[in-house]
Amino acid sequence: MNASASTAGEEPEFGYASGAPSEPVERDERIVALDFIRGIAVLGILFPNIVAFGNPTLAYFWPEGLPGGATATDKSFWLFQFVLLDGKFRGLFTLLFGAGLMLFTERAWARGATRWLQARRLLWLGLFGLIHYFFIWTGDILFLYAVSGLVALAMLRWNARTQLKVGLIWYLVGSLMLSVMLGQQAAFENIPKVQQSAPARYAEARKDRAEELAKTAKETAAMSGDSYAGVIEYRVKEESGGIAQAVFFGPLETIPLMLIGMALYRMGLFERRFDPAKMRKWGWIGVIGGAVPTVPIGLLAYRADFPLALTQFAFNGPAAFLHLPMVLGLAALLSLWAPAAAKTWLGSRFVAAGRMAFSNYLGTSIVMMLIFQGWAGGLFHRFHRPELLLFALLGWVLMLAWSKPWLTQFRYGPLEWLWRCLTYGRLFPIWRAR
């Protein structure tokens, strides 16, 4: 394979190249699709995430968690996002992380290194994730990626077809497990016969719901307060368990998507080594075939006026099955589009945002923290979904505006540079040669 995304002098997560470790890759050595799709993904995940930046975590999937409850417009926006956005960009981001994991390790092996270099890189990522979780925003995915990536290291030498098959089966089994668990909760919430058949479990389900709402009230008070120290104290005391929960449930989706990403990279999807006509055909089949059956799942919660457990079931249960074809379809279509799009003014900015995905991801969290939390901008729990999308658009503008100019002066983003230096245990030059 003669195309790569980087050297040790560029972004390590996407590649290897000939030459000394500190030499940047030539422009034509990069797999432009990886940068472009990562740019789309890192911007795209802000649209669903913005709800949880500006409101309690529960509002991320439950419209009634918005201030004063959901309006009719909120409910319509929820359905739109549920069908086309929620879970899709996160899945795409995870897929690309798996591809990057494979690329980095191939480069390490080519230079005689072992998996320990990748493991050390992931351990540093985990530390970044913990800092992000406790000090910036609890919606962190970096710690989950680090833990899942360490597990995936054991599967790096599998052949691509094995990685693909195991990833697909694992993903479907994980979605089934979540659907069964969440479906039981939804049944106790909404079906009288089920409630009557197991009154003790029904009482427990009601208790769990009350505790969830009480926790949300505490979160709202902490995030709306005028003390940053109070925010940290709340997270340490009340939300430390969220890390363990993410590590337990996250791999049901995260590891299999990483495996699929590894396989698709090795099979040449991102370099368009598949037949373009077939990529286009199956890409649209995946996107449309996943979106259409997602509609009735969303309507199930919408028409019932969003009971908590039923909404969670719809959001994280059966819909997860349909995320997969949409993620794969988007990956295929965007890989086809990337080379031409990257030559345009806007497309080149998406590429730059993708090359700085780590900096953009954490940077966005910092900006939104400063806007919404009570000790800073003080706008927490004040806006509904339509207004929050304006803040997401602001985030888009910032990411697209700063990434390309930064990369004209520097060889990689600030956090990408720090992560690289920590991984290799040495300082790399950051300025571009004059």
**Three-state SS across the chain?**
CCCCCCCCCCCHHHCCCCCCCCCCCCHHHCCHHHHHHHHHHHHHCHHHHHHHHHCCHHHHCCHHHCCCCCCHHHHHHHHHHHHHCCCHHHHHHHHHHHHHHHHHHHHHHHCCCCHHHHHHHHHHHHHHHHHHHHHCCCCCCHHHHHHHHHHHHHHCCCCHHHHHHHHHHHHHHHHHHHHHHHHHHHHHHHCHHHHHHCHHHHHHHHHHHHHHHHHHHHHHHHHHCCCHHHHHHHHHHHCCHHHHHHHHHHHHCHHHHHHHHHHHHHHCHHHCCCCHHHHHHHHHHHHHHHHHHHHHHHHHHHHCCCCHHHHHHHHHCHHHHHHHHHHHHHHHHHHHHHHHHCCCHHHHHHHHHHHCHHHHHHHHHHHHHHHHCCCCCCCCCCCCHHHHHHHHHHHHHHHHHHHHHHHHHECCCHHHHHHHHHHHCCCCCCECCC
* pLDDT per residue as tens digits for the range 196-205: 999 988 898 8
pLDDT band at 246 (very low <50, low <70, confident <90, very high): confident
- Identify which has the larger pLDDT, 204 or 298: 298
* pLDDT per residue as tens digits for the range 354-370: 999 999 999 999 999 99
Range of the domain at 66: 12-424
Q: Is residue 87 part of a domain?
A: yes
Q: Is the pLDDT of residue 148 over 70?
A: yes
Q: Is residue 84 part of a domain?
A: yes
Q: Is residue 434 part of a domain?
A: no
Contact by Cβ (8 Å): 178, 320: yes
Q: Is residue 5 part of a domain?
A: no
* Range scoring the smallest mean pLDDT among 291-300, 307-316, 425-434: 425-434
Q: What are phi and psi of 431, to 5 degrees?
A: -75, 145
pLDDT band at 113 (very low <50, low <70, confident <90, very high): confident
Contact by Cβ (8 Å): 413, 370: no
Q: Is residue 431 part of a domain?
A: no
Q: Is residue 4 part of a domain?
A: no
pLDDT band at 7 (very low <50, low <70, confident <90, very high): very low
Q: Is the pLDDT of residue 434 over 80?
A: no
Tally of domains in the chain: 1
Q: Is residue 3 part of a domain?
A: no
Q: pTM of the prediction?
A: 0.91
When pLDDT is averaged across residues 312-318 and rounded to a whole number, the result is 95
pLDDT at 201: 87
58-96: burial string, b at 16+ Cβ within 10 Å, e else: bbbbbbbbbeeebeeebbebbbebbbeebbbbbbbbbbb
Contact by Cβ (8 Å): 119, 150: yes
Q: Is the pLDDT of residue 181 over 50?
A: yes
CA 109 vs. chain centroid, Å, equals 28
Helices 318-341 and 345-355 cross at an angle (nearest 10°) of 120
Q: Is residue 96 part of a domain?
A: yes
Q: Is the pLDDT of residue 122 over 90?
A: yes
* pLDDT per residue as tens digits for the range 255-282: 999 999 999 999 999 999 999 999 999 9
Q: Is the pLDDT of residue 433 over 80?
A: no
Q: Is the pLDDT of residue 6 over 90?
A: no
